[in-house]
């Protein structure tokens, strides 16, 4: 903001006559402002980053040292990470998480695209009502309907102890994905669709050939959100998978890891790092799509 104000008319940012006292004061003020803002930035960065740093430092401490007040490791015990992978079940949790997150994401994106397209581009009676119902579903705490859902999956379909009660519903449109995709599709001008229709494309071909290529950033954002949702989900696996350790996911297993390694904070922190790392790696590769998605949820309309 200060930069913009300095660039404002009547106050040239390039100061050829920097010798005048007024110009010197202005420049000194700008420098002080820069220092204050960046000092505050560094302080905030420390608040956000230090937990990761302590987490990592503890993950490479020895068993005994992790229980002391020490902040930095005496010897770097990289073997802690191999020990985590050797823990029975840890690789199964990885496999299950990838299945839940991967298949769930694929299904929800595929099933949500046509719904979002209809809500964004078709005119029909009940469209506004449908949209309001989608938003209500999106805002519904999962605990509200969990008793009948659990009875349905466990008693009628006998699928408790697996992750299928979490994956199968994804094939029937996920409310959040529908909403986000619809918001994105609204930004695609109708002229493109009309042109395709004039060329004789049916709605399905229009969606496939014209809309989808233009909607790639929106689809990427939705896929990322869905993947992260499944990766982070704790309540779902707790309800359906807790009775069967072979179906646990990383987020659910991590807690029991702490229970099994009661005093081994170093191993628990190493496992925690291993659960966080993939999400952060994915973020670095897809930062733009992700930030765009966050903005889309709240700002554009």
Partner 1 sequence: MAGNTLRSKQRRSALRTLAFLSPWLIGFTVFFAYPLVSTVYFSFMKYDGFNSPVWNGLGNWSYVFSDYPLFWPSLGNTLWLVVVMVSCRVLFGLGVGMLITKIKTGTGVFRTLFYLPYLAPPVAATLAFVFLLNPGTGPVNTILGDLGLPTPGWFNDGSWSKPALTMLAVWGIGDLMVIFMAALLDVPKEQYEAAELDGTSAWQRFRFVTLPNISPIVLFAVVTGVIQAMQYYTQPLVAGKVASGIIGGSGQAFEPGYPDKSTLTLPQLVYNLGFQRFDYGAACVVALVLFALAMVFTAFLMRRRGGLIGTGD
> Taking CB under 8 A as the criterion, which residues in 18-57 touch partner 1?
34, 37-38, 40-41, 44-45, 47-49, 51-52, 54-55
Q: Judged by CB under 8 A, how many residues of this single chain contact partner 1?
A: 106
Q: Is 69 in the site for partner 1 (CB under 8 A)?
A: yes
Q: Considering only the C-alpha atoms of the chain, give the largest distance between any 2 of them, rounded to a whole number of Å.
A: 85
Token pair for 24: 């010197």
Among 144, 191, 198, 213, binds partner 1 (CB under 8 A): 144
DSSP states along 73-118: -SS--THHHHHHHHSTTHHHHHHHHHHHHHHHHHHHHHHHHHHHHH
User: Which among 12-20, 88-96, 212-220, 290-298 is the span making contact with partner 1, rule CB under 8 A?
Assistant: 290-298
Instruction: Between 37 and 91, name the residue whose CB sits nearer to partner 1.
Output: 37
SS3 163: coil
**Residue 16 or 141: which CB sits closer to partner 1?**
141
Q: Would you say 151 or 246 has its CB closer to partner 1?
A: 151
CB atoms within 10 A of CB 54: 13
Integer CA distances (angstroms), 285 to 157, 280, 288, 289, in order: 39, 9, 8, 9
For residues 19 and 267, which CB has a smaller minimum distance to partner 1 in the complex? 267
Whether 62 contacts 269, CB under 8 Å: no
Smallest gap from residue 247 Cβ to partner 1 (A): 16
Distance CA 142, CA 32 (A): 50
Q: Which range touches partner 1 (CB under 8 A), out of 18-26, 76-84, 208-216, 256-264?
A: 256-264
Among the residue ranges 21-29, 88-96, 150-158, 192-200, the one whose residues contact partner 1 (CB under 8 A): 150-158
In whole angstroms, give the CA distance from residue 261 to residue 87: 10
Of 80-139, binders to partner 1 (CB under 8 A) are: 111-112, 114-115, 117-124, 128, 130-137, 139
Of residues 190-219, which lie at the interface with partner 1 (CB under 8 A)? 203
Range 220-249, binding partner 1 (CB under 8 A): 228, 231-232, 234-235, 238-239
Q: Which residues in the 156-175 window bind partner 1 by CB under 8 A?
A: 169, 171-174
Nearer residue to partner 1 within complex by CB, 19 or 143: 143
C-alpha closest to that of 180 among 224, 213, 126 = 224
In this structure, is the dihedral angle defined by the CA atoms of residues 144, 231, 257 and 52, taken in order, positive or negative? negative
């Amino acid at each position: 903001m200060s930069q913009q104000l300095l660039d404002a008319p009547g106050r040239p940012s390039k100061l050829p006559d920097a010798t005048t006292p007024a110009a010197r004061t202005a420049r000194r003020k700008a420098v002080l402002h820069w220092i204050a803002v960046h000092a505050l930035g560094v302080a905030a960065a420390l608040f956000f980053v230090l937990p990761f740093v302590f987490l990592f430092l503890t993950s490479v401490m020895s068993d005994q040292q992790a229980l002391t007040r020490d902040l930095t490791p005496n010897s770097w015990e990289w073997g802690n990470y191999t020990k985590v992978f050797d823990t029975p079940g840890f690789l199964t949790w990885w496999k299950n998480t990838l299945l839940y997150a991967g298949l769930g994401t694929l299904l929800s994106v595929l099933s949500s695209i046509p719904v979002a397209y209809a809500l964004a581009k078709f005119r029909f009676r009940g469209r506004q009502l449908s949209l309001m119902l989608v938003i209500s579903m999106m805002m519904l705490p999962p605990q509200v309907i969990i008793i009948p859902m659990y009875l349905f999956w466990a008693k009628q379909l006998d699928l408790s102890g697996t992750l299928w009660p979490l994956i199968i519903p994804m094939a029937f449109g996920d409310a959040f994905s529908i909403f986000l995709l619809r918001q994105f599709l609204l930004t695609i001008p109708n002229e493109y669709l009309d042109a395709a229709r004039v060329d004789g494309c049916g709605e399905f071909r229009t969606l496939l050939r014209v809309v989808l290529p233009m909607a790639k950033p929106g689809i990427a954002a939705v896929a990322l959100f869905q993947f992260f949702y499944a990766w982070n989900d704790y309540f779902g696996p707790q309800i359906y998978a807790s009775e069967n350790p072979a179906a646990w996911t990383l987020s659910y297993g991590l807690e029991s890891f702490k229970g099994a390694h009661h005093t081994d904070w170093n191993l628990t922190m190493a496992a925690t790092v291993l659960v966080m790392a993939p999400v952060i790696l994915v973020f670095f590769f897809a930062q733009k799509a992700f930030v765009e998605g966050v903005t889309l949820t709240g700002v554009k309309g």
